[in-house]
Homo-oligomer: A and B are copies of this chain.
């Protein structure tokens, strides 16, 4: 792995316009998935990326592969956010708060929609990434709990689902709307997470596994 940029999986060095288009498509796909869901026409993604549809199919065999790449990207970036919040913030609750807002900016809500439809959840890379994310967020929550700032009756799943739901695009409206308000609503939710708890919650703390099981 000399000094050259990360080469494509092919032996060929890949032309610069090809790699640029590939990244444009990924970016466009991310936006399109966020706005219109995981079954948005691929032609629409190509159009949004400013390329012909043939170019899209040249880079990605099918929708499945495109989703996989986009979701992996997002998952990795969210994990980085969790880990850097963990490393850089001194206050435990502030670290949690920072992570939540950063994760929102990465549009976890839309990511999760993708994760479910057509995403190989048993792919080793994906499993690794997910475990890393879970570990980091669990750590963030543990820290906040032990410092007495986080109510003790909430679990990882509660937080992740809330982020997912509150950052999803409101059906039928343009993205601008939810972007304007999601941070407000997340902040209110976070305020509700603070100790001491202001009410008693029904059910039990949601874990991540609960969602795994239900997916099968």
Contacts and interface: CB of A to CB of B under 8 A. Distances in A.
A114 to B, nearest CB: 8
A168 interface: yes
Interface string A121-147: 000000000000000000000000000
B215 A203 contact: no
Task: With a 10 A CB-CB cut-off, give which of A161, A185, A193, A214 has the most chain B CB atoms.
Answer: A185
B191 A203 contact: no
B187 A202 contact: yes
Interface of A: 37-38, 112-113, 115-117, 154, 157-158, 161-162, 164-166, 168, 170-174, 176-177, 180-181, 183-185, 187-194, 197-199, 201-203, 206, 210-211, 214-215
A112 B169 CA distance: 12
A196 to B, nearest CB: 10
B215 A172 contact: yes
A112 B165 CA distance: 14
A135 to B, nearest CB: 22
Contact of A161 (B161, B172, B181, B202): B181
Contact of A214 (B162, B168, B174, B189): B174
Task: With a 10 A CB-CB cut-off, give which of A154, A168, A191 has the most chain B CB atoms.
Answer: A191
A158 B185 contact: yes
Given A115-B172, A181-B203, A192-B193, 4 more contacts: A158-B181, A173-B211, A191-B197, A191-B198
17 contacts: A37-B171, A112-B171, A113-B171, A116-B172, A158-B188, A161-B170, A161-B181, A162-B166, A164-B170, A165-B166, A165-B185, A177-B211, A180-B206, A181-B203, A190-B192, A192-B192, A192-B193
Nearest to A202: B183
A157 to B, nearest CB: 7
Contact of A201 (B37, B116, B184, B203): B184
Nearest to A162: B185
